[in-house]
Chains A and B, each alone.
Chain A
Amino acid sequence: MFIDKDKTVREDGMTKLTTQPNLSRPDDFYEALIEAHRGLSDDQSRDVNCKLVLLLANHIGDMDVLKDALEMARKGHEPETAT
């Protein structure tokens, strides 16, 4: 009887996450991404990445899109430790 609304599979089975090219200037973005980390230690970079994820997640707002992205980002990684 525990119902997780976020787990309903959409009828079309398609993801809502856009993976088609959507950046008008991909090279500019990529450069800006790397630039955002320039000169930072690994710990600082990790902090920047965490904040980036949180800021973008809030901007997107749609849980279906976020779940698709989380799943896609994790794809191919097997957990090294038991969870």
Chain B
Amino acid sequence: MLQTYQYPEFQYVPPRELSSDTVTRKPAVVVGAGPIGLTAALDLAAQGVPVVVLDDNNTVSIGSRAVCYAKRALEVWDRLGVAGPMVDKGIGWKIGKVFRDEEMVYQFDLLPEADHKMPAFINLQQYYLEEYLVERCKAYGDLVDLRWKNKVTGLENNADHVALTIATPDGDYRLDADWVIACDGAKSDIRGMIGASFEGQAFQDRFLIADVVMKADFPTERWFWFNPPFHRNQSVLLHKQCDNVWRIDFQLGWDADPEEEKKPENVIPRLKAMLGEDTEFELEWVSVYQFACRRMEHFRHGRLLFAGDAAHQVSPFGARGANTGVQDIDNLSWKLKRVMDGTAPESLLDTYDTERVFAADDNLMNSTRSTDFITPKSPISRAFRDATLDLAREHPFARALVNSGRLSMPTPYAASPLNTPDTDAFKGRMTPGTPAADAPVTADGQDAWLLNRLGGDFTVLYFTLDGGVPDELKAFEDDPAGVKVVTVGPGGLADVKGLVAERYDATPGSVYLIRPDQYVAARFRQFDARRLRVALDTALGKG
């Protein structure tokens, strides 16, 4: 098969601990160097926390796996300084088309709101994504200790540390960690080692993934077929990736034999039927997968924290795997840093569990709904699905019911204990628990983006009328939990298009408290030191 991508081989270095008699203790160990583990390493390093990353392999993700990255995940990576190459290399898209039988039922435009730095979606092969993340990790030097071909084979989850046994090509060694983040995927060995449950629904269906290289004149759009002439009674999804690689997912049904289906002599006729006899293409990758929707009951087990597919697994419809895993890390890292520093109680980490379990349930609900539409489980479910598709040709209301995957949006932590519920009147979407919206600004006359000024620390976003900032507000910057004051107005960021005020429903004097992960914690019409202090304490889990 053709290879458009040259897989890097990362160097295995025998760990120092192999030749040591004493057991080293590390502040943080991440298990798994996939998109989630590498993001965890970057987020901890960005806060100055030294981190060891253990991975049983020595290259990036092989083959065709995650494809679509949504705006919120890109914003997290942008906060970590790594979104640039992803967006540059990735394929942006916003038009989706839904076909049924021989014809198009309708098309939709994601219509992303203008004036955000990050696009609504990009398509990018997972190996590129991981390559960029690894490159970014290297910029942190010794702070990120990437250990390839280091496989965790034993784990003791103690009250005050996690003890790991690690196998390398040169033998085993022991390593203790104050905290461990398990990002070792849906088949997580770490989860198995503590005997945690992973319950949910397995779907009796299989999908064939084919990556083909072709110079086709298909537009850069997401195409989804129900019952197409080239693949009757099943669904097909087409996505464009970079380097002229197209990703095609064929639904196969439960009775399909994965080994048979994977054979090029069976795949190529399917592709020819779909792409046309005359279209020249080369097969780059073929695999068969089946999926489940399930999660762990809890993502926090003392000093062992689970993130990404290790904690929750969703169907692929709607791009909720990697995208939601990255948001787990976004949520976890700042909390872990502050617990390590003693500026927040350890119980703050329990809110990682509540907030991200809530988000996982939202994702599971959405992906289960999509799956039920795409692969109806009963004759009546199928009849409603087909009736909906029939009606969708003529009637806009039915298009809203067609569910070929709802695209991943961040889940607001609507009822989080870290929120300070509004007491002042505000309009618009920026309610506490919601990720902060981006907007264009200028800083010292230079074009800039609001989101790039938020996050990392707690941010007090203050809308000043005359350029003045109350001394009591400035004093928050001395808080050991890490607080910065960002002003909008004279002397601060210029709201050149008026979109900051609009998106935040801000008036002169308005104050937003924004968490290090860029989620709104509290907002007030006027600055009041006592109320802001209480809100900050609440957001730190001291409430």
Contacts and interface: CB of A to CB of B under 8 A. Distances in A.
Interface string B102-120: 0000000000000000000
Interface in A33-49: 46-47
Interface in A20-58: 46-47, 50-51, 53-55, 58
Nearest to A46: B383
A54 B415 contact: no
Interface string A1-12: 111000000000
B390 A51 contact: yes
Given A1-B358, A3-B415, A58-B397, A47 B391 contact: no
B383 A54 contact: no
Contacts of A46: 380, 383
B387 A3 contact: no
A46 B378 CA distance: 13
Interface string A61-73: 0000000000000
B379 to A, nearest CB: 8
A49 to B, nearest CB: 8
Given A1-B358, A58-B397, A51 B387 contact: yes
Chain A contact residues: helix, strand, loop or mixed: helix
Given A1-B354, A2-B361, A50 B383 contact: yes
Contact of A47 (B354, B361, B383, B416): B383
Nearest to B415: A1
A2 B391 CA distance: 33
A54 B386 CA distance: 11
Contacts of B414: 3
Interface in B302-327: none
Given A1-B354, A2-B358, A2-B361, A54 B416 contact: no
B358 A50 contact: no
Contact of B387 (A1, A2, A47, A58): A47
Nearest to B384: A50
A46 B388 CA distance: 13
Nearest to B386: A47
B23 interface: no
Given A3-B414, A3-B415, A51 B391 contact: yes
B275 interface: no
Nearest to A61: B397
Contacts of A2: 358, 361
A46 B387 CA distance: 9
A50 B392 CA distance: 13
A3 B390 CA distance: 33
A53 B383 CA distance: 12
Nearest to A81: B378
Interface in B398-418: 398, 401, 414-416
Contact of A54 (B361, B380, B398): B398
B354 A54 contact: no
A54 B388 CA distance: 8
Contacts of B415: 1, 3
Interface centre among B354, B380, B387 (most CB of A within 10 A): B387
Contacts of B386: 47, 50
A66 B496 CA distance: 46
Contacts of A47: 383, 386-387, 390
16 contacts: A1-B354, A1-B358, A1-B415, A2-B358, A2-B361, A46-B380, A50-B380, A50-B383, A50-B387, A51-B391, A53-B384, A54-B384, A54-B387, A55-B391, A58-B397, A58-B398
Interface of B: 354, 358, 361, 380, 383-384, 386-388, 390-391, 397-398, 401, 414-416
Given A2-B361, A47-B383, A50-B384, 20 more contacts: A1-B354, A1-B415, A2-B358, A3-B414, A3-B415, A46-B380, A47-B386, A47-B387, A50-B383, A50-B387, A51-B387, A51-B390, A51-B391, A54-B384, A54-B387, A54-B388, A54-B391, A54-B398, A58-B397, A58-B398
